[in-house]
Amino acid sequence: MPTGFTREELQNYARSQRAEYEGVLQKIVEIPSVSVEPERKPDVRRAAEYAVSLLQSFGAQARIYETKGHPIVHGRFDRDPKYPTVTVYNHLDVQPAEGPDWKTAPFAFTRDGDRYFGRGTTDDKGPAITALFGAKYARDHGAPLNIRFLWELEEEIGSPHFETAIRENAKEFATDTAVVSDTVWVSRARPAAPAGLRGLQGLRFELQTGETDQHSGTAGGAARNPVTELCSLIAECVDGRTGRVKIPGFYADVVPPTKKELDDLRKCGFTVKDFKKDHLFRSLRVNDPLEVMKRIWTMPTFEVHGIAGGYQGPGVKTVIPPKATAIVSCRLVPDMDPKKIVKLIKAFVKKKNPDVVVSAEHELAAYQGKTTGPYADAIRGAMKFAFGKEPVFVREGGSIGAVLSMEKVLKSPVYFLGLSLPEHGYHAPNENFDWPQAEGGMAAFADYFRRLGEMK
């Protein structure tokens, strides 16, 4: 029976490690590993190389695995092949960061009391390092477990090479279960774990009706205007005010939340006021908290991200543009099939405006999480141990491609132990993480590993 796992002992451990934790976080945050920017490619590699040396300095075996894009880092605290194996997934690439809204330099680590500012502090470098410190403790205190780390560097661009990479290395990456730390609680007051993630289907609508700009005085009235036609088409697809998708059959496969899920939503600590504040919204389509949560987590969407075409400059230039494009995506929920949704939308558009060309872009199925069974119970127990309260299982509105790939290829169930808070600003300016979440996170991970080691 491993000892040393009381809350107090773990608190002492975290305190003793704080300076080192901050030093590591500083080093990794100050490597601008922006995966989407080609000119940052050397930085992304540098982040991978640093990660390997970090894992090695903790006594892990670690190496880089090449992919056709950015590399993957795999590390292992292996004790005995007889013991169960758990793999912690995080990503070390980050979103771009620039602009006047940043109060500190995004790629400088800035400490303000218990808060740590910088791109990647919460998404996902802070949680990655936290899990590593928790794992080190569990290993040093005899948890009978092999703990591995799978650190991706392409999560922010949709994990295009992750599935192939883990398939090619399926033997080395084999694991009994995986735990992902890349999700956000609903509020600091109560831990939360995702019971499901929305999927995504990207689409482009394109309409070309001419070759060049034409004068709206000489041709207007007879000429087709592709911008206007795309606007009409979009209005036939979705009610802009309510968000209700009007394409027949769109909602057919949506699994509504269960009574238990709705109960969890009611007590998860979500408030409309905080939601508006965190996202800087002036108003919402609905104001009832349960209705907002249902919409962002359990319902699909049809969103227009941009319409391009025609004149965009100052004043009014009276042209009829020859061409217009709309960038659209649908967030999907269990059991919607991305391919079926594409078919449905293509058929609908063909009927309404046969000249519009619809092309399908990036797709990702929705994910139905597991909230029962021994692993989910271990997550519950570890969160309660570290943060004083059991987590509520809520769905998340975003998508993590790697989760589906790990379940499919490694055939190991995935669970979530997220540490980020809404005010940490995922993908936003002034992204931050904080010491209470890191301290609790180290305890939660150490306790989770202890529980897995004791699991039959």
* Residues binding Zn ion (CB under 5 A): 123-124, 182
Distance CA 328, CA 323 (A): 16
Q: Which two tokens stand for residue 408?
A: 């499919």
CB of 332 to Zn ion, least distance (A): 19
Q: In angstroms, rounded to a whole number, what is the distance separating the alpha carbons of residues 273 and 248?
A: 34
Single-letter amino acid code for the residue at 249: G
Q: Closer to Zn ion at the Cβ: 182 or 434? A: 182
**With respect to Zn ion, which residue has the nearer C-beta, 123 or 439?**
123
- Choice between 51 and 203, CB closer to Zn ion: 51
Least gap, CB of 426 to Zn ion (angstroms) = 7
CB of 254 to Zn ion, least distance (A): 26
Mapping DSSP to helix (H, G, I), strand (E, B) and coil, where does residue 208 land? strand
**Closer by beta carbon to Zn ion, 123 or else 363:** 123
3-state secondary structure of 295: helix
124/434 with CB nearer Zn ion: 124
* Cβ neighbour number for residue 99 with a 10 Å cutoff: 8
- Between CA 443 and CA 385 the distance in angstroms is 8
Task: For residue 285, give the amino acid letter.
Answer: R
Q: Give the single-character DSSP code of 219.
A: T
Residue carrying the six token digits 């100052």: 314
**Residue 156 C-beta: closest distance to Zn ion, Å:** 7
- Report, in Å, the least distance between residue 236 CB and Zn ion: 35
**Taking the alpha carbons of 398, 93, 101, 108 in that order, is the dihedral positive or negative?**
positive
Nearest distance in Å: CB 427, Zn ion: 8
Rounded CA separation 342/355 (Å): 17
Pick the closer one to Zn ion by CB: 95 or 298. Answer: 95
Specify whether the CB–CB gap between 37 and 142 falls below 8 A. Answer: no
| Residue 12: CB minimum distance to Zn ion, A | 30
Measured from the CB atom, the residue of 121 and 225 that comes closer to Zn ion is 121
**268, 297 contact by CB (below 8 A):** no
